[in-house]
A = this chain, B = another copy of it.
C-alpha cells in the first residue's frame, strides 16, 4: 500500500480521535460554564460577549465574533440584548468608522466582577479533572499542542487576542487581589 494511503488512514484516525476528545472536553466545559452563569440569567453566548468586551477593554463586533467563535449575526444580536439590559453599549471609534464596537457599561463591569467573586460557588469539573496533572507538573497543563492546532486553524491574530485577553484578565485579578475582595 502506498505511503499516501497509510497517511489517509492515519489522518482519519487522528481527526476522529480529536473529534471525540474535543466533544467530551467541550461538553464538560459547557456544563461548568452553564452552572456558573445560571444565577445571572445569561446564556453562554451572552456571557462570552461580556467576557470578551471586559478582557479586551472594548472590542469590535467582528473581534467578538472571531474570538468568541460565533457568527457575526449571533454576536450582534446578543450584543443588542445585552445593550437592552444596560450591560453593554455600542460605539464607533474615531480611528475606525467602519466597525461597530461594544464596551461594558458600569453595570456590565460590576456584573463580570461579581461573577468572578462567585466563580468557585459552582463545581468546575475541568478544575477537579486537572488537579492530578497540576500535582504532577507543579502547575496546570498548557495544552500547547492544542494551541498550535488552533493557531493554524484560526490564525495568529486569534492567538494574539487570546493572549491579550488573558494578560488583561491576570491584571484585573491582581487588582481585585490588592483590594483583597476575593472571598475565601
Could you tell me which A residues sit within 8 Å of B by CB distance?
1-2, 4-5, 8-29, 32-33, 48, 51, 67-69, 116, 119-120, 124-133, 139-141, 143, 145-150, 152-154, 158, 162, 165-166, 169-170, 173, 177, 180, 182, 184
* Bound CA span A23–B139, Å: 22
Cβ contact of A12, chosen from B15, B17, B128, B173, cutoff 8 A: B173
Please give, as numbers and ranges, the residues of chain B lying within 8 Å of A158 by CB-CB distance. 24
With A1-B180, A8-B120, A126-B153 known, 13 other A-B pairs at CB within 8 A are A5-B182, A13-B169, A16-B166, A18-B143, A22-B25, A27-B69, A28-B154, A125-B153, A128-B152, A128-B153, A129-B149, A133-B145, A143-B145
| Structural contact, A140 and B25, CB atoms closer than 8 A | no
* Bound CA span A149–B25, Å: 8
Q: Can you sample 5 A-B contacts with CB below 8 Å?
A: A5-B182, A10-B140, A15-B130, A24-B153, A125-B153
Cβ contact of A153, chosen from B4, B129, B145, B162, cutoff 8 A: B129
Name A180's closest neighbour in chain B (CB-CB). B1
| Structural contact, B29 and A22, CB atoms closer than 8 A | yes
* Bound CA span A125–B4, Å: 19
| Structural contact, A18 and B29, CB atoms closer than 8 A | yes
Please give, as numbers and ranges, the residues of chain B lying within 8 Å of A29 by CB-CB distance. 18-19, 22-23
Please give, as numbers and ranges, the residues of chain B lying within 8 Å of A69 by CB-CB distance. 23-24, 27
Please give, as numbers and ranges, the residues of chain B lying within 8 Å of A154 by CB-CB distance. 24, 28
